[in-house]
Amino acid sequence: MKKICLLTIMSLWASLSLLAQTSQEPLLDPIKRDELKRDVYQLADAHFLGREAGTINEFKAAVWLVEKMREAGIQPAGDDGTYYQFFDLYFRRIMDHSSLKIGDKSLKLWEDFIPASYYPTRFEDKELVYLGKIKPEDILKKDVKGKVVAIEASLDGIMDNISLFHKRYYYLEADRYKQALYEAEVAGVIYVANSLFEDNWDAMYHEMRRGRNGVEGVRDQLVPEMPIFWVKKNALHLVASQRKMSCDLGITLYKYPSVNLVGKIEGTDAELKKEYVLFSAHHDHVGVREVVDGDSIIYGADDNASMCATLLAIARSFKQRPAKRSALFVFHGAEEMSLLGSRYHAMHPVVPKESIVCVLNGDLIGRNDINSAGLLGAWGEHRTSDELVEAALQANEEGPKFIIDKSWDDPNHPEFFFYRSDHAPYARVGIPVLFYTSLLHNEYHTPKDRADRMNYDKLKKMTDWIYLTGWKVANMKDRPKYLKSAKVN
């Protein structure tokens, strides 16, 4: 009897230790290509009209996603025992009564002029100085203090090899002159569009009409700023010949909600389960925009239904086989409005900030060459943790074996891609991050970013890679250390 009992205990011990060993192995089975595909198709459906932040469509997609989180076995970790973490967006809009007069000639809002600043401003017969085509450094040589200047826009020194250039050039142009205009203490600036700028007048109109958005701590106040106006090139003679201008720029600021979706799968180790590997995606996109080939819904299949599907697949695996540390799944809202959801969650995480051991973020992960992928936050100045990068490289070797494109992590890369997705706010508060991406393509932010144009074999490989990295980190003895030398601003 004693002998049998001892044998039983021994075999039980053997099977338990076998279990303990196998539980250290990652589990790729629950990550299925066809489920990834199904989820991308559903989230990128026309029904959600491009999931624009601060609209009902973002909320509809969020509710759908919460049902999928529940199905995947994720436990709620948001507000009041739910999956939701609501936050305020701060919308600043240009009011329709806004006016601009040059000399005695009144210009029409949007048609003849576009304001590109968001602080209420009223000038009566302010002195106007025409500077023509001028280099920023030459402005200081002019007598312009307290006056409004008019500048002929040009593309000198502007990098036009950035994606969506037609939506960015007016910011880039304003940036080029900003410092000099402030130093010269001018009261305001009128840019006269050249042909290229004017060809993109509609794009600028759509962007500026939508306004500028913020979140707590970021653009949540009306802060005084220099008024900026754009006029069409046929107004050149007018601004060059007149000496006075008047304007009444009205701005409204109001709050509107957006939402992050947050859930977790608890770890198995009594101590380590208090720490979290954070898997990050964004569920919003840019809504309905200009028509391209008869369609105006920007479906956002690659951007970023792809990573949302990935998070669900990773959760299914963690549900079947949890790791020592817990897994936290965050689907951010309002990413397309300059990372507002992740900025908010990085400031108000649902678990203590110190308990987040790393953020594995993905954005645009199902396109381009099936054998290569980008990993950012990994090389040179942007590297936030040696151990985390090492885990990702090992995971790549054990899994998809991508040829890793490092070039987009270069601080001098024209796209500044490291700063353009949801890992960035976490890096700034001292959490190690990685950014996985299959990089941009010429259908980015167009109605052609559809589910039927994705590469699901690639998406499966990316998902495996992200999961395998997360699995390693979630089971490591020591958490990855944050490199204080990292350049993340």
Q: Judged by CB, which is closer to Zn ion: 112, or 363?
A: 363
Judged by CB under 5 A, the stretch of 231-239, 356-364, 423-431, 451-459 that binds Zn ion is 356-364
User: Is there binding between residue 363 and Zn ion (CB under 5 A)?
Assistant: yes
Contacts 24+ apart (CB under 8 A), 320-323: 320/27, 320/29, 320/30, 321/23, 321/26, 321/27, 322/265, 322/266, 322/267, 322/268, 323/267, 323/268, 323/277, 323/470, 323/471, 323/474, 323/475
Among 117, 304, 310, 385, the residue binding Zn ion under the rule CB under 5 A is 304
Question: In the complex, what is the shortest distance from the CB of residue 387 to Zn ion, in angstroms, rounded to a whole number?
Answer: 27
Write the DSSP symbol of residue 243.
Answer: -
- Residue found by looking up tokens 């198709």 in the block: 41
Question: In the complex, what is the shortest distance from the CB of residue 306 to Zn ion, in angstroms, rounded to a whole number?
Answer: 9
- Measured CA to CA, the distance from residue 443 to residue 459 in angstroms comes to 17
- Measured CA to CA, the distance from residue 300 to residue 286 in angstroms comes to 8
Q: Judged by CB, which is closer to Zn ion: 325, or 423?
A: 423
Among 152, 275, 303, 409, the residue binding Zn ion under the rule CB under 5 A is 303
Q: Judged by CB, which is closer to Zn ion: 246, or 361?
A: 361
Q: Judged by CB, which is closer to Zn ion: 128, or 439?
A: 439
**# residues near Zn ion by CB under 5 A:** 3
CB atoms within 10 A of CB 124: 10
CB atoms within 10 A of CB 444: 17
β-pairing, 251-265 vs 84-94, is antiparallel
Judged by CB under 5 A, the stretch of 41-49, 126-134, 161-169, 301-309 that binds Zn ion is 301-309
Question: In the complex, what is the shortest distance from the CB of residue 168 to Zn ion, in angstroms, rounded to a whole number?
Answer: 16
Judged by CB under 5 A, the stretch of 167-175, 264-272, 299-307, 382-390 that binds Zn ion is 299-307
Question: In the complex, what is the shortest distance from the CB of residue 332 to Zn ion, in angstroms, rounded to a whole number?
Answer: 10
The torsion angle over the Cα atoms of residues 294, 298, 300 and 303, rounded to 10 degrees, is 110
Question: In the complex, what is the shortest distance from the CB of residue 282 to Zn ion, in angstroms, rounded to a whole number?
Answer: 6
Judged by CB under 5 A, the stretch of 33-41, 56-64, 345-353, 362-370 that binds Zn ion is 362-370
Q: Judged by CB, which is closer to Zn ion: 44, or 251?
A: 44
Amino acid at 5: C
User: Is there binding between residue 284 and Zn ion (CB under 5 A)?
Assistant: no
User: Is there binding between residue 310 and Zn ion (CB under 5 A)?
Assistant: no
CB atoms within 10 A of CB 468: 23
- Measured CA to CA, the distance from residue 103 to residue 347 in angstroms comes to 48
Q: Judged by CB, which is closer to Zn ion: 152, or 303?
A: 303
Q: Judged by CB, which is closer to Zn ion: 363, or 409?
A: 363
Site residues for Zn ion per CB under 5 A: 303-304, 363
